[in-house]
Amino acid sequence: MKNKRIAVFGNGWSNEFYKYALEGITAEAKKDNVDVFAFVSYVLWERSAQSMLQLNMIDIVTPEDYDGVIMLANTMNDTAEYERIIERFKDSGVPLLSIERKIPGIPSILSENYHGVHELMEHLVRSHHLKKFVYVSGIEGNTEDAFRYKAFTDVVEEHGLEVLGVFGGEFSYSRAFDETQKWIDEGHELPDAFVCANDHMAIGVMTALYKNGISVPDRVKVTGFDNIDEGKKTFPMLATVSRGWDKIGVLAYRELMRQIEDPDPEYEKIYNSEFVPSESCGCEASEEDIKSRTEQVRGGYAEKISRAIFDAFFQEMNLAAIKTGSMDEFPETMGKVFDAYSFLGKNLWICTEPEIFELEDKVYTHCVKGYSEQLDVLYWKKDGKSRESFRFKTRELVPGYVKDENSSDLFIICPLNYQDFLIGYAVSKNDPTMLYSQEQRRWVYYMENAFMSLRQNIFTLRANRKLQEIAMTDFLTGLYNRTGVEDILFGYIEKQKKKGQSTILIFADIDRMKMINDNYGHLEGDVAIRATSSALIASCPKGFIMGRYGGDEFVAVGDYDGVETAEEFCLRLTESIRNYIELLHLRFPLSVSVGGQLIVPDTDGGIADFIEAADKSMYERKEEAHRRLDARFKNELKL
């Protein structure tokens, strides 16, 4: 094998089948030191944006990185899923293997659905002498259900049995429960047995019978199909049909290895389903199943506590999302929550689109329809310790992945998206516990919602900041207005005090502003204000914060380095402003007087007090400027 790396694709809604298959695959892969990359979707039957967007995960898989692919095709609710996988690996030379679904041109391993049901029906007739039946079917048009029903009807005809009715349960616990309740409420005759097309429906039927005081198996017998773990927890334990899923992963891995060495696209292996008698049909359960039920009952409290911890995690995550105002804060808010919970495993990557927290809704959903060439590792935990986030090439899939030739690792990759927002994906390593228990689906769902809450909070705070900026910005100059001066500039001074640092406050005033307005018009007056603000920005040291205090008055504050006195600083600033204005070649005389006030850490007072002190410091210079301007205005107006 070139890469010692295989891919497994499946739908996480069928978590129990995924568990059986993946346990067998990884057990065999360990013998060869082969890494397994398990891609888990949660695509539903309807082609919603939420479902279809998940298929983008297939497009970032690089076929050449894998030696083979196993598709758990029976778990895929939409044909688009396995069709996309086949298209992705087409012409790559990488062999594909389909499990439990026959796909033309793809080797397959299948279990049949007829033999086990036929065996079950013969058992009910010959061992328990049953004669009257109700069949609970799955989804109309489902091929597997059709074979199961055919086995049922064949035995009915062979023995001349009576079918009291057939109703659809849609492979659903709740639908089967409702239909059974309806059967009872309408006064229909109870059969000797309800034969159900899967275990979920059988449990639903048993629950309805129990709630109506009808004993199973004493009064009515119930059977299922699939041999799921939940059926082993019930009282009575469910009689069912096994499809040999506990062996299917081993068979799939071995066949994939053979396909890698000797490709055979027409290969097909079919093995029989088998009846598993148990308590709900009136038989004894096996010792192994009884032991399994006992262990699960004993573990019920621990499972309850685990769920409580799980819920606590998501509550904390949502609270952290609300507290996070920018992505710079993420490590100290949501990142800390990730760190605190061990059930997430020792190795976890949360990879997100670079623009998910940057672009507005309509722009994002229009522009981001598939994964970008680079993604951000928003959160990364390696060997139990969180690491710094970084950007990586999406082609790597698992950031920093390097094959260890002496071990076999399991990576579980799951897409994250919310409706038509592609968020990214999550990767865990060597810890499939959540996947096997359906907790992964809950985790994915809550993570998607938490990230969208985070996104909404960031954009809300950003919008609020923008509104605040507008409320504190002078429209004519773009500087802070009086509100901004009193809030931002005074806030800067107070922060400087707390740090034990001195501040210099500059107060600038346009000389004879009224004469400009009266003699040249208010439009030229606006020009004078904008010219002064530009001159102030150009002349003040880097890092100074400026505002228009009102009318023709301006304020600036900044760090005082002590190199020169406040008086020297103001004279140098005045000269710089004068030189800047001269270069503008205005059609009216314009000069600016500047005063300064040094504010040391123990200086008391508010912004108005500091401005008043700075204004007084320039009194003589302003008087001189007024005399000079009066004479100039008089001469220019005569001309």
For 469-522, the three-class secondary structure string (H helix, E strand, C coil) is HHHCECCCCCCECHHHHHHHHHHHHHHHHHCCCCEEEEEEEECCHHHHHHHHCH
User: What's the pLDDT score for residue 636?
Assistant: 65
Tens-digit pLDDT profile for residues 465-478: 888 888 999 999 99
Residue 323 located in a structural domain:
no
Residue 125 located in a structural domain:
yes
Find the mean pLDDT for residues 608-624: 82
Residue 55 located in a structural domain:
no
Of 490, 619, 468, 476, whose CA–CA distance to 555 is shortest?
A: 490
Tens-digit pLDDT profile for residues 508-562: 999 889 889 998 899 999 999 999 999 999 999 999 999 999 899 999 999 998 8
User: What's the pLDDT score for residue 90?
Assistant: 93
CA distance 532 to 527: 8
For 232-246, the three-class secondary structure string (H helix, E strand, C coil) is HCCCCCCEEEECCHH
Q: How big is the CA angle at 8 (ends 6 and 12), to the nearest 5 degrees?
A: 155
Q: What is the CATH number for 592?
A: 3.30.70.270
Residue 464 located in a structural domain:
no
Structural domain count, the chain: 2
> Does the pLDDT of residue 624 top 80, yes or no?
no
The domain of 231 spans: 114-239+277-298
**Residue pair 403/384 in contact by the 8 Å Cβ criterion:** no
Which two structure tokens, joined as six digits, stand for 537?
Answer: 């920005």
Tens-digit pLDDT profile for residues 259-308: 999 999 999 999 999 999 999 999 999 998 898 888 877 777 888 888 88
Q: How big is the CA angle at 468 (ends 467 and 474), to the nearest 5 degrees?
A: 95
Residue 592 located in a structural domain:
yes
Find the mean pLDDT for residues 451-455: 92
User: What's the pLDDT score for residue 638?
Assistant: 57
Tens-digit pLDDT profile for residues 415-441: 999 989 999 999 999 999 888 887 888
What single-letter DSSP state applies at residue 91? T
Find the mean pLDDT for residues 247-265: 95
What single-letter DSSP state applies at residue 164? E
CA distance 250 to 43: 26
Residue 471 located in a structural domain:
no
User: What's the pLDDT score for residue 326?
Assistant: 86
Separation in Å, CA 492 to CA 352, 473, 534, 617: 36, 17, 22, 22
Residue 417 located in a structural domain:
no
Residue 158 located in a structural domain:
yes
φ and ψ at 291, to 5 degrees?
A: -60, -40
User: What's the pLDDT score for residue 637?
Assistant: 57
Of 139, 145, 202, whose CA–CA distance to 170 is shortest?
A: 139
Q: What is the CATH number for 136?
A: 3.40.50.2300
Of 6, 12, 140, whose CA–CA distance to 75 is shortest?
A: 12
